[in-house]
Amino acid sequence: MLETVDLSLKLSKQEYREAFEPLSIRLAELQREARAAGVPVIVVFEGWQASGKGTCINRLTNVLDARGFKVHYTIEPNEEERLRPWMWRFWTKLPPRGAIAIFDHSWYRRVLLERLDGTVSEDEWRRAYDEILQFERQLIQDGAVIVKFWMHISKKEQKRRFKRLEKDPALEWRITKTDWRRHNRYDDLLAAVEEMLQRTSTAQAPWTVVEATNKRFARVKVAETIIAACEQGLQRAAIQNEAPAVEPVEPPDRSNPLSRVDLSLHLERDEYQQQLNELQDRLFHLEHEIYTARVPVVIVYEGWDAAGKGGSIRRLTRGLDPRGYEVVPYGAPTAEEKQYHYLWRFWRNLPKAGHITIFDRSWYGRVMVERVEGFCSAAEWQRAYQEINEFEAQLAAFGTVIVKFWLHISKDEQLRRFEERQAVEYKRWKITDEDWRNREKWDQYERAVSDMIQRTSTVYAPWTIVEGNCKLYARVKALRTIADAVEAALKHAS
């Protein structure tokens, strides 16, 4: 989930002041409301060393009533703690109902630093995942709000910060040899973080990745996320033991990956034709290798209406042997399909080992059209992120190559294409009233797509956003992404 993160996000001092002041007022209010409602709030900060956890916590607690929160700084377990089951030290630090506990590092240390440093056995950190999930489930069912942050900076940025701290005589003590050793193993820890984010992002206690290069940006995002989580927790408490389908309170979307797509990317026709020929040739040979190596391939096409899914899929399949692939288009579920869990109709059409299935729209309908149009309850689409990650993890564990495209175009470009479709007779069948209606909800859809990409982009099934204003560029990018992913998997399998 970390590869979709844009670490250049920032706020100016002016923007920060304007954003943070109302947030701090709301935070203080929520602290009082949580106390009155008896809702315990648990805030977890994990993140890179020097990512700014400390100052961020400091700014937060400045606005809170000191009688109602406690900050716990989690380092190596002490002697007393080592003499008990490892979760003991967190159980005994839980906030009572109505109070706030902030953990600077937490139980996740076990699957991060302790795992990295080898101070726990593989058996222990593997089992820790179960124990963590049990712990959080038990607390949430008991009414707790759990908010979890991963404070993210790049390796380069961490190095810069370490050096700066070392230059300051007052702060140099903060950077130790251990910190540098861990810095050098940035990529190892990154892989562990990815696994942690995937395995422990549940519907009720999801992780929020915070772009922490700019501290002002980080603080605002953290405050907004806590506010949204508390509001949701308070709603849950209010209708306690009733409707689990709470209308979600959305924090603002500060990290929309669509906002940084460069839609000016394009390709000239002659260059396109040459690259397309090469790619189709490459894919033709890869299809055969897939078959011999018994590798299953899943390709998902999602995108705006008129973004060019159909054209892209045609360029992909043109060169392929039809015995090796299948295109499965999905629209609204049929009456029969509605009789099953929403994933059922996709499970049915999984490729056999050695084959390719191209999904023209997919299970992501649940968190896009079904969410936006209200075809499912909030509880249903909220838990769907986890369900989808679990589903794709099962495919990946079987060795499946998973490629997922979001074909992106601008709102203006969509309008141009819609109008063209309406004007040109042989294209008119492609445009319906529904397309125009969906277009009116562009912002809601964009939010849904942004959440989807952030929450379901995984190492084993990453999203690729395809810049689609230029169809030629988009087609070539999609085909190249597939060829590269398949080649990498074949290399890995052999």
**Which residues of this protein are in contact with a second copy, per CB under 8 A?**
38, 40, 80, 82-88, 91-92, 94, 96-98, 127, 131, 134, 138-139, 141-142, 144, 241-245, 294, 296, 336, 338-344, 347-348, 350-354, 377, 379, 383, 387, 390, 394-395, 397-398, 400
CB closer to a second copy, 363 vs 463: 363
CB of 368 to a second copy, least distance (A): 19
Nearest to a second copy of 4, 382 (CB atom): 382
- The residue behind tokens 């990409």 is 453
In whole angstroms, give the CA distance from residue 250 to residue 227. 9
Cβ of residue 64: shortest distance to a second copy, in angstroms?
18
CB of 156 to a second copy, least distance (A): 35
For the chain, the distance separating the N- and C-terminal CA atoms, rounded to the nearest angstrom, is: 27
- Tell me how far, at minimum, the Cβ of 448 lies from a second copy, in Å: 20
Length of the chain in terms of residues written: 494
Residue 439 CB partners (closer than 8 Å, separation 6+): 305, 411, 414, 415, 418
Cβ-based nearer residue to a second copy, 398 or 442: 398
Pick the closest to residue 65 from 41, 94, 93 (CA basis): 41
Asked if 55 and 214 touch (Cβ cutoff 8 Å), the reply is no
Long-range contacts of 32-35 (CB under 8 A, 24+ apart): 32/65, 33/230, 33/234, 34/98, 34/100, 34/145, 34/230, 34/233, 34/234, 35/68, 35/98, 35/99
Give the three-state DSSP class for 379.
helix
For a second copy, give the closer residue by CB, 346 or 473. Answer: 346
| Helices and strands (DSSP H and E) totals, the chain | 19, 10
Beta-bridge partner residues of 307:
none
Task: Using the minimum distance from each CB to a second copy, give the nearer residue, 203 or 265.
Answer: 203
In whole angstroms, how close is the CB of 266 to a second copy at the nearest point?
A: 39
Q: How far apart are CA 250 and CA 231, in angstroms?
A: 10
Specify the 3-state DSSP secondary structure of 240: coil
Shortest Cβ distance from residue 325 to a second copy (Å)? 15
Shortest spacing between CB 94 and a second copy, in angstroms: 6
CB of 364 to a second copy, least distance (A): 16
- In the complex, the smallest distance separating the C-beta of residue 305 from a second copy, rounded to whole angstroms, is 29
340 or 436: CB nearest a second copy: 340
Closer CB to a second copy, residue 318 or residue 348?
Answer: 348
Residue with smaller CB distance to a second copy, 124 or 253: 124
Nearer to a second copy, 144 or 227 (CB): 144
8 Å CB contact between 144 and 43: no
For tokens 């400045």, what's the residue? 62
Which CB sits closer to a second copy, 98 or 319?
Answer: 98
Q: One-letter amino acid identity for 480?
A: R
Neighbours of 427 (CB within 10 A): 13
- Shortest distance in whole angstroms from residue 126 CB to a second copy: 8
Q: Residue 134 pairs with which residues in a beta bridge?
A: none
CB 460 to a second copy: min, Å: 13
**Given its phi and psi angles, is residue 299 left (phi above 0), alpha (psi -120 to 50 degrees) or beta?**
beta
Compute the least distance from the CB of residue 401 to a second copy, in Å.
Answer: 13
- Count the neighbouring beta carbons within 10 Å of the beta carbon of residue 45: 27
DSSP label of 101: E
Please say which residue, 338 or 437, places its beta carbon nearer to a second copy: 338
- Assign 282 to helix, strand or coil: helix
Q: Each residue of 281-318: b (16+ CB within 10 Å) or e?
A: ebbeebbeebbeeebbbbbbbbbbbbbbbeebbebbbe
Residue 245 or 415 with smaller CB distance to a second copy: 245
The first and second tokens of residue 10, run together, are: 């920032």
